[in-house]
Structure 1
């Protein structure tokens, strides 16, 4: 897949984090001049993510599989966006357990929505792990200006390379923000190298009332997504695909599974 030629812009437009993927999402990304989507849905195991990414990749759009892993327990979780995984990593394992597994797999580890609520890495946590991180999100279409402002401040203080994304949980948000790399991104390997090397890029977004309204819709969706009732229904049963005690993980993460992720007795 070549860089963005439909808009006349040099390099490659990458929407660095989306949660949805189907025919309409792929079409919307192409219509908006996006070249690459990084697809990291919640509670979905890596093999399924890879299958869907391959299904919707073509000459116009490259879809790269990734995982936003929830570390810690539900109430104090920290999100990490891992790109380039070769083996599945579950949610709700310890932060250190997740980082060590990412290092074993030589994955790129990114910080989504820093300093946001209780679900993100804080500035001090990022400072403490600088050598293990490859980038930090400085614009997220879901968030308000002051929240993105905090992220930019952390990026300046840490020196980590920035990236931007739509963080689309809703189809219409895809392509609302993106990272424009100077280099052409033709494969997952190209993106991994660009992220590891801190390759030159710009973080860009759409403007106007439509952009803000889509962001507000995403923010409203966040409250439904994070209700305890939903979590109790879909995760605490221990049958969710990314539950660390799921049979698919063959007990590999038993020693780093957090207490809150075990079934209730």
Structure 2
């Protein structure tokens, strides 16, 4: 393999997703579902990987509380990290583990890094997302400017919550990065890459479909049901974390 196309962030994974990814010419997907513990993400990623398509496990960690939250996309974690711990506590843990830290949908709504957050953690951030189908063009331009002002490499993803969006966006490397270790290394070393995406009416329709889905994904009621009202898998008080994050949990 001389080149490699990666869709850097998908939320869905099944046989249909794998089939679509292959049809779109992808070599790898980064799978980071909401509110799912790392061991479960790894197990499902391995189950759907084969010689044609690698599925690389990752976590999009929800830091802070519901009113002041930031999403962080992280690859190469050795130990699980829960959601809803402080932003500072999460970033310290990612640094301790030597994971690759990515900024998804920067400055978008109230769910990601601000420009000042990027400046504060510039030495820890390995890539900034500069194309996302949920973004308006002004968001993509702002993200590119943010990355380039701080000399941070870029990445693009479909951020697919719907199966049909998988493969609408990809990041191309000039070498094989189809293992977790190789992709983390490429990110940590700033390997050369290019962000690209499909165009035309079909792409615009996929973007609109994802935007329509956004409201559901960001309702307080859903998060309250999943995390705050019970002891769900990525709640920091879950027994799986053995109290390691009690000093930085926000719920």
Deviation at residue 237 of structure 1 after TM alignment = 1.3
8 Å CA contact retained: 1:12, 1:180: yes
- Match of 1:15? 7
8 Å CA contact retained: 1:65, 1:83: yes
CA displacement 1:14-56 (0-9 Å, x = unmatched): 0000000011001100010000000000000000000000001
CA distance in 2, matches of 1:47, 1:40: 12
Alignment of 1:56-67 (within 5 A): 56-67=48-59
SS of match in other structure, 1:77: strand
Deviation at residue 238 of structure 1 after TM alignment = 2.9
Deviation at residue 130 of structure 1 after TM alignment = 0.6
CA distance in 1, matches of 2:240, 2:225: 20
Deviation at residue 156 of structure 1 after TM alignment = 1.3
SS of match in other structure, 1:160: coil
SS of match in other structure, 2:235: coil
CA distance in 2, matches of 1:102, 1:139: 24
Deviation at residue 236 of structure 1 after TM alignment = 1.2
8 Å CA contact retained: 2:27, 2:178: no
Given candidates 239, 251, 254, the residue that maps to 2:243 is 251
Is residue 238 of structure 1 aligned with residue 226 of structure 2? no
Given candidates 111, 115, 119, the residue that maps to 1:119 is 111
Alignment RMSD, CA only? 0.9
- Match of 1:161? 153
Given candidates 7, 20, 29, the residue that maps to 1:28 is 20
Deviation at residue 186 of structure 1 after TM alignment = 3.4
Alignment of 1:121-160 (within 5 A): 121-160=113-152
CA distance in 1, matches of 2:230, 2:105: 27
Given candidates 180, 191, 209, the residue that maps to 1:188 is 180
Deviation at residue 229 of structure 1 after TM alignment = 1.6
CA distance in 2, matches of 1:250, 1:85: 17
- Match of 1:82? 74
8 Å CA contact retained: 1:238, 1:246: no
8 Å CA contact retained: 2:132, 2:158: yes
CA distance in 1, matches of 2:192, 2:20: 26
CA distance in 2, matches of 1:231, 1:94: 17
Moved over 2 A (4+): none
Is residue 102 of structure 1 aligned with residue 125 of structure 2? no
- Match of 2:189? 197
8 Å CA contact retained: 1:37, 1:63: yes
- Match of 1:41? 33
CA distance in 2, matches of 1:39, 1:94: 23
Q: TM-score, normalised by structure 1?
A: 0.93
8 Å CA contact retained: 1:14, 1:34: yes
**Long gaps (5+) in structure 1:** 4-9
Per mean C-alpha deviation after superposition, the further-off stretch among 247-256 and 141-150 is 141-150
CA distance in 1, matches of 2:147, 2:58: 22
Q: TM-score, normalised by structure 2?
A: 0.98
8 Å CA contact retained: 1:18, 1:38: yes
8 Å CA contact retained: 1:115, 1:123: yes
